[in-house]
Amino acid sequence: MRLKSKGVTRPGSSLPLEEVLREQAYLVSRGVRPVSLAGHCHVAEAAPDGLLRMATQLERHAEANVIPFVVDHGDGVASYGYSGSRWALDLYEWAVRDPSVPQEQRHRIIGLLLGYGAPAISRYEEEGSGRRFAATSYGG
């Protein structure tokens, strides 16, 4: 298997390396974060059993008391990873699947589930949605 550094893949075509999956499951099992996303994939072009095969691979690397998951977002993309509890997975699934969830709230919910603290999320929003440099103004 090859590690895809960015983008979205087809189910079963290239999951992250086994070590990466084990690490993500380990972080969730130790309570570092409620949910860990290992990646995203396209589902529209997938074989009927593509998501099931992906879930089976995730289960192989799951730690005790960790829930491997594949969530179809309903827009042709699915995400996969591990959750430490059913409520966290339910909240994640609701945030990504329900179109009535405002985008701003969706990002906040996912940030909290991925282990970011409230100050980090506030700072991200205050700094211009992730801008890594200060805005400059030119005198006229």
Higher pLDDT, 100 or 2: 100
d(CA 95, CA 42): 19
d(CA 40, CA 15): 9
pLDDT in tens, 71-85: 999 888 899 999 999
Judge contact between 43 and 77, C-beta under 8 A: yes
Higher pLDDT, 1 or 122: 122
Q: What's the alpha-carbon Rg for the chain, to the nearest Å? A: 17
Q: Which two tokens stand for residue 83?
A: 């959750």
pLDDT for res 81: 95
Report CA 82 to chain centroid distance, whole Å.
9
Q: In what order do the strands lie in the sheet with 67-72?
A: 35-42, 77-83, 67-72
Domain ranges of the chain: 18-126
pLDDT for res 97: 95
pLDDT for res 24: 93
Taking 90 as the threshold, does the pLDDT of residue 43 lie above it?
A: no
pLDDT in tens, 14-36: 556 788 899 999 999 999 999 99
Does the domain made of 18-126 have the CATH classification 1.10.8?
A: no
pLDDT for res 84: 95
State if pTM tops 0.85.
no
Judge contact between 10 and 50, C-beta under 8 A: yes
pLDDT for res 41: 84
Report which DSSP code applies to 34: S
